Chain A
Amino acid sequence: MAWLPPILPVLGLIAMAMSLSHLLPIATALALNDGTAYIFTASMTLNALIGFLLWLLTRRYRRELHLREGILFIVLVWAGGALFASLPLLFGIGLSFTDAVFEAMSALTATGATLLDGLDNLPASINVWRAELQWLGGMGVIVLVVAVLPMIGVGGRQISKAEIPGPMKDDQLTPRMTQTAKGLWIVYFALTGACFVAYWAAGMNWLDALIHSFTTLSLGGFSSHDASIGYFDSLTIEVVAIVFMTLAGINFATHFRIWQTRGLRVARFDSELPYYLLVLALSVLGVSAFLWAKGIYPDFATSLRYGAFNTVSVATNTGYATTDYAKWPVFAPLWLMFLGTFVACSGSAGGGIKMIRAMILSRQMYRELTQLAHPKAISPLKINDRVVPNQVVFAVLAFFFAWLSTLVGVTLLLTFTGLDVLTAFSAAVASLNNIGPGLHEVGPSTNFSVLSDFQTWICSVTMLLGRLELLTVLVILTPSFWRK
């Protein structure tokens, strides 16, 4: 544990920075006078105080973090962040500790699963807080997946090392990451701003526009209404949401480069993008046609409206809904959940396997088939005309196995504790891939409050695992990680 102290002052700094994020709900509370300002002020003070003490006591240990310290740091930021962020929920609306941590974890991991009923009646500041947490979580995730994980090489992510925007100096990690983070955040801010304006112009009030632009760009999916986007029943708002969800599902490194070069031409270097758009488009058409054929909606236009929105929402792991899609014939919602496991691009706040890994996995399968037919063939796995080293392929396979066994494990555990198969499986898929709502008892019209405390904890941990790409968390559980 000798290398724990260098993390602590940084964690302290993060806690102090987190305390600043309370200013937005405080401002909302004061402006609308919803009576929660004192709770947020207290929470902010606590955050700042603990952070300051932590920093003060350990700052002399501060130095450049090593790889293993970095991994531990990432896990502690998300786990600790959820604990701190749950405070206003714990005291503001009287949630139990279990539920408050679940809600905060769902927010920070940009999952969007909720166990709150009557969102419309919550104090506005609480809704702003939930949305802001998602937005901050998304901000962290994007830097994590674009800059940090490729450096560590989690689950084959080293393949996108070359895609990391910013100055190309391999020897100095920190300045490079700072640069990269700045660039990504500028894009993230700009897109959020654009989304806010678009929602507002489409007819939301400024509060709803703020909340939903926060949760759209982070692909989180929290809403201030129980009926989610369906509350507005506005085609314009749905179109705006579809556009921004689709944009947010694209690699932010690509967004950054488009912004940097002021041209769309760089987009063709993004190997995931064509598949991402293709799978989305085909699925939207397929699901809509299915709904129409089954006679769920009277005409194709209506089928397309509901099919398109909910497909994009679940596939990009946002988790908004305009209707209770769990009531559709089961093929459609299962198809949506399946999309949610892999569609999002590697550098977005979306969860799951990611499109790039799905591409590597399917090409590895094809490669194996070629090898069977032609034993002497040399068939390298290529992405974007570049050969993917076997080491990366193995890492992706390991990731996939970890993902699959977690999925199976969590499903079994949830059924063991008494959930029915569809609820258990969809809750596992929704948590592990940070989608948000599941099906049946945890579907879009109901929520996770039906779960027992133990089940809630399982889902909280699963969200964290999924968010940090499994291996990052699992490595901490191995003895060799703690060996000096």
Chain B
Amino acid sequence: MRIVILGAGQVGSSVAESLVSEANDITVVDVNTERLKALQDRFDLRTVVGNAAHPAILEQAGARDADMILAVTQSDETNMVACKLGASMFNVPTKIARIRSGDYLSHPEIFSPQNFAVDSAICPEQVLTDYIAKLLEFPEALQVLEFAGGKVSLVAVKAFHGGPLVGHAISHLRTHMPQVDARVAAVFRQESAILPEGSTVIEAGDEVFFIADTRIIRTVMRELRRMDKPVKRVMLGGGGNIGRRLAKQIEHRYEVKLIEYNKATAQRLAAELDKTLVLAGDVSDEQLLEEESIADVDVYCALTNDDENNIMSSLLAKRMGARKVIALINRSSYVNLVQSGQIDIAISPAQATIGTLLARVRRGDCVAVHSLRRGVAEALELVAHGDAKSSKVVGRRIEELDLPKGATVGAIVRREAPANADTASAYDYKVIMAHHDVVIEPEDHVIVFVVNKRMVPKVEKLFQVNVSFL
């Protein structure tokens, strides 16, 4: 695929990184020469210096032959104009723009082909905010990812002594709780993946990925560890883009305190937020944390723009008694350094948000992609098109699929005919756990878990409709 990425900031760079590794032809455009040089040093890609919203620059970047434009510059307006130019001057088939302003997003008609021609508008900050909000809702989980519009969830949880399933084989789950239908997709033990069989014994300290209907994930988690009290008090360190969004989103559910260093920003936040207590101060000010009773806080989230600051303040918070700490860490080397240490969850913003972009880039009809374990593993939601003749998956039992080793089907979401004619537009969805004898039907959404990203192309290929059979 020939892809033009506009903007070499955090999002642009990490997208470029993952797309290069998937054998695409990438061109990155940015006004900043140094950022481009840094990218070019690391990866095999082309760079163009200039304003991404200028036709000449787009032309130079090869927009004419591009399959896709990914406009992820800092400016919503630049991104929108670039998409429009891509549509009207260069006929680029797919145009994706990062749009951060809620004002634009609340008027989807401005993205129509007649207007700004943005095929899909993505907001990484919102994705990240939702991601953290999910973790607050399920404080026991390391990661909660949704598929099929929230019907199915993939949950990563660390097994602890005391969970009924710990020390038992996976098949024990079915006998122990026959009414709960969940599937263990993978088990990671000491950084290496174990392909789960019915006989695999779960040990304390294992990182278990399971797929289940969203409504029952709490029940399944209870099998793996004792449950914590639900989160009540949340403290956010840093009132930037993420801190502000998160506070706004959760302030009516939890008691939220937010620490912001910049006085003027703090004033603005206090005006904008309704119930959040905004504090002006330093996130690593021990006295301030003490004063605001950090020891009673259920979750502390370090969300500033500065990795070191986030690490330090979350370590401090943890030592002073915060029950659980979450830190945003951009540098992947730091993430590996601190994860599973004192800091309970280290989130790499790039990894958390890249899935929304990747889903658009993939071959085959891919609805959602989630990056797992710092980008090593991946979970995909793919749609099975065609029929038994043209497709390699439709009409086959799951055990018959030619999946590479390390890839497992977790669940299937099937659209059912509406129960009555009145709700004809709103289809009913049914979640089917992937037992070996389930037969895949056309238009099923199949959720595939891949322990190593290298297998992704093979999986994609499997789901592509074979033209020669048509």
Give Cα distance in the complex from A375 to B279, angstroms: 8
Number of interface residues of B (CB under 8 A): 15
Instruction: Flag B43-85 by CB within 8 Å of A: 1 or 0 each.
Output: 0000000000000000000000000000000000000000000
Give A9 Cβ to nearest chain B Cβ, in Å: 46
Complex interface: chain A residues within 8 A of B280 (CB)? 376-378
Cβ B278 vs Cβ A382 within 8 A: no
Residue among A377, A379, A387 having the largest count of chain B Cβ atoms under 10 Å:
A377
Question: What residues of chain B lie closer than 8 Å to A379, measured between beta carbons?
Answer: 270, 277-278
| A270 vs B251: C-alpha distance when bound (angstroms) | 24
Contact residues in B for A370 (Cβ distance below 8 Å): 277
Chain B positions 288 through 306: 1 when the CB is less than 8 Å from some CB of chain A, otherwise 0: 1001100000000000000
Is there contact, CB below 8 Å, between B291 and A378? no
Which A residues are in CB contact (< 8 Å) with B167?
Answer: none
Q: Is B271 positioned at the interface, with any CB of A under 8 Å from its CB?
A: yes
Contacts of A382 in B (CB 8 A): 271
CA–CA, A387 and B266, complex, Å: 13
Which residues of the other chain, A, contact B292 by a CB distance below 8 angstroms? 374, 376
In this complex, what residue of B is CB-closest to A375?
Answer: B291
Give which listed residue, B263, B271, B274, B277, contacts A377 with CB less than 8 A: B277
Q: Is B281 part of the binding interface, using a Cβ–Cβ cutoff of 8 Å?
A: yes
Q: Determine the residue in chain A with the shortest Cβ distance to B272.
A: A385
Interface bits B416-452 vs A (CB < 8 Å: 1, else 0): 0000000000000000000000000000000000000
Residues of A within 8 A of B269 (CB): 378
Question: In the bound complex, what is the Cα–Cα distance between A385 and B274 (angstroms)?
Answer: 8
- CB pair A377–B267 under 8 Å, yes or no, is no
B288 engages A378 (CB within 8 Å): no
Enumerate 7 A-B pairs (CB-CB under 8 Å) in ascending A order.
Answer: A374-B279, A374-B291, A376-B280, A376-B288, A377-B278, A377-B279, A387-B270
A94 within 8 A of partner (CB): no
**In contact, B291 and A380 (Cβ under 8 angstroms):** no
B229-264 with Cβ < 8 A to chain A: 263
**Could you tell me the distance between the alpha carbons of A375 and B278 in the complex, rounded to whole angstroms?**
11
Shortest Cβ gap from B21 to chain A (Å)? 45
Let me know if A380 and B277 touch, CB within 8 A.
no
Extra A-B contacts (19), CB below 8 Å, given A378-B269, A379-B278 = A370-B277, A374-B279, A375-B291, A376-B279, A376-B281, A376-B288, A376-B291, A377-B278, A377-B279, A378-B263, A378-B270, A379-B270, A379-B277, A380-B267, A380-B271, A385-B274, A386-B271, A387-B270, A387-B271
A376 to B270 Cα, complex, angstroms: 12
CB-nearest residue of chain B to A386? B271
Please, which residues of chain B bring their CB within 8 A of the CB of A376?
A: 279-281, 288, 291-292
Q: Report the Cα distance A387→B274, complex, angstroms.
A: 11
Which residues of B line the A interface, CB within 8 A?
263, 266-267, 269-271, 274, 277-281, 288, 291-292
Give the residues in chain A near B291, CB-CB below 8 Å: 374-376
Look across to chain A and name the residue whose beta carbon is closest to the beta carbon of B269.
A378
Question: Which residues of A have CB within 8 Å of B271?
Answer: 380, 382, 386-387
On chain A, the residues within 8 Å of B277 by CB distance are 370, 374, 377, 379
Complex formed: what's the CA distance from A374 to B257 in Å?
A: 11
- Whole-angstrom distance from the CB of A421 to the nearest CB of chain B? 44
Tell me the minimal C-beta distance from A383 to chain B in angstroms. Answer: 12
What A residues does B288 contact at CB under 8 A? 376
Residues of A close to B278: CB separation below 8 A: 377-379
Closest approach, in angstroms, between the C-beta of B424 and any C-beta of chain A?
33
Contacts of B266 in A (CB 8 A): 378
Q: How far is the CA of A382 from the CA of B281 in the complex (A)?
A: 22
CB distance from A373 to the nearest CB of B (A): 9
**CB-CB contacts of A380-402 with B at 8 A, as 1s and 0s?**
10100111000000000000000
Q: How far does the Cβ of A374 sit from chain B's closest Cβ, in whole Å?
A: 6
Give the Cβ gap from A359 to chain B, nearest Cβ, in Å: 16
The list of the 9 closest CB pairs from A to B, nearest first, reads A378-B270, A387-B271, A376-B279, A378-B278, A378-B266, A376-B281, A380-B270, A378-B280, A380-B271
In the bound assembly, the distance between CA atoms of A378 and B266 in angstroms comes to 7
> Which residues on B sit within 8 Å (CB–CB) of A378?
263, 266-267, 269-270, 278-280
Q: Which of A374, A376, A386 has the most CB of B within 10 A?
A: A376
- Distance between B265 CB and nearest chain A CB, rounded to angstroms: 10
B243 to chain A, nearest CB (A): 14
- Closest Cβ–Cβ distance, residue A379 to chain B (whole Å): 6
Kindly provide the distance from the CB of B253 to the nearest chain A CB, expressed in whole angstroms: 19
Instruction: Write out the residue numbers on chain B whose beta carbons fall within 8 Å of the beta carbon of A387.
Output: 270-271
Instruction: State in angstroms the CA–CA spacing of A370 and B278 once bound together.
Output: 11
Nearest to B260 among chain A residues (CB) is A378
Which A-chain residue is minimally distant from B288 (CB atoms)?
Answer: A376
Question: Bound complex: CA of A375 vs CA of B281, how far in Å?
Answer: 11
Residues of B within 8 A of A380 (CB): 267, 270-271
Closest chain A residue to B270, Cβ basis: A378
Closest-CB distance, A407 to chain B (whole angstroms): 34
Q: Residue of A at shortest CB range from B271?
A: A387
Chain B residues whose CB sits within 8 angstroms of the CB of A385 once the complex forms: 274
- B313 to chain A minimum Cβ distance, whole angstroms, is 15
In the complex formed, the residue of B with least CB distance to A370 is B277
Docked CA distance A382–B263 (Å): 18
Complex CA distance for A379 and B280, rounded to whole angstroms: 10
Q: How far is the CB of A340 from chain B (nearest CB, A)?
A: 32
- Bound together, the chains give a CA A374 to CA B293 distance in angstroms of 10
Q: CA of A272 to CA of B222 in the docked complex: distance in angstroms?
A: 49
How distant is A377 from chain B, measured CB to nearest CB, in Å?
Answer: 5
The complex places the Cα of A374 from the Cα of B258 at a distance, in Å, of 12
Q: Which residues of B are found within 8 Å of A377, using beta-carbon distances?
A: 277-280
Chain A residue contacts of B274, Cβ below 8 A: 385
A370 to B276, CA, bound (A): 12
A residues 348-390 in Cβ contact with B at 8 Å = 370, 374-380, 382, 385-387
Say how far B276's CB is from chain A's closest CB, in angstroms.
Answer: 10
Instruction: Give the Cβ gap from A27 to chain B, nearest Cβ, in Å.
Output: 56
A370 to B267, CA, bound (A): 15
In the assembled complex, the CB of A173 is this many whole angstroms from the nearest CB of chain B, namely 29
Nearest-neighbour CB distance to chain A for B284, whole angstroms, equals 14
CA distance A89 to B128 in the complex (A): 76
Query: CA separation between A386 and B268, bound complex, in Å?
Result: 11
Within 8 A of B (CB), among A133-187: none
A367 CB to closest chain B CB, in angstroms? 11
- When distances are taken between beta carbons in the complex, the residues of chain B under 8 Å from A374 are 277, 279, 291-292
Q: How far is A382 from B274 in the complex, measured between Cα atoms in Å?
A: 9
